[in-house]
Amino acid sequence: MARVAVVTGGTRGIGEAISKALKAAGYKVAANYGGNDAAAQKFKAATGMAVYKWDVSAYDSCAAGLKQVEADLGPVEVLVNNAGITRDTMFHRMTPEQWGAVINTNLNSLFNMCRPVIEGMRSRKFGRIINISSINGQKGQIGQANYSAAKAGELGFTKALAQESAKSGITVNAVCPGYIATEMVKAVPQDVLEKSILPHIPLGRLGEPEEIARCVVFLASDDSGFITGATLTANGGQYLI
């Protein structure tokens, strides 16, 4: 029987590529989204995948959404925490709202999504949790104190939960993308891209969403069963650890 995979932020950008790749690999995919109804319906029409709208920053919303997914598709065995937002500004101008929005959506969402499914994974002795962090959670970034803090927090969460869950057959890993050719990055002016971003990437190009998706498919598979608590960097050599 096909395993059920939930992808947060799964109808656009990197999340869309992850959802499509998991479906191609044989999973039953539930793609979560937060607010863009038009994009979600377009994704659903194009892929035939189930879409579910809920706010990952709210625990009760996540619990209800995951309960509906399990009623529709079956127990969640693979969880990809991909949803994230930015509210970039220099720290001395950052508001409490800008800080809180990013921490709640990018970091607190990991608790909100993992907590409702972890007991089921433990009882079934199987689970795959993959957290999409960022190169800027590893190295920091000017104007992203909130985002970098959240993404670094994801890595600590990944390592701790991996150790707790290993004996229950659950692996927990993170992927740290670098600059990926999503709508957000493509919106950067071409001169900025060529002068300030690409020169710092040894491979000399942006990554593709599908390249991140292939990392996730591997970490979700049985082939990755001896890998847990790991951080897989996919950044073209821009930052090495």
Name the residues annotated as catalytic: 147
| Phi, psi dihedrals of residue 107, rounded to the nearest 5° | -110, -55
Record the tokens describing residue 113, joined without a space.
């999504």
79: helix, strand or coil: strand
> Strand (E) positions, the chain?
4-7, 28-33, 50-53, 76-81, 127-132, 170-177, 231-234
Q: Please name every residue paired with 6 in a beta bridge, in sequence order, or none if there are none.
A: 30, 79
| Phi, psi dihedrals of residue 131, rounded to the nearest 5° | -105, 125
173: helix, strand or coil: strand
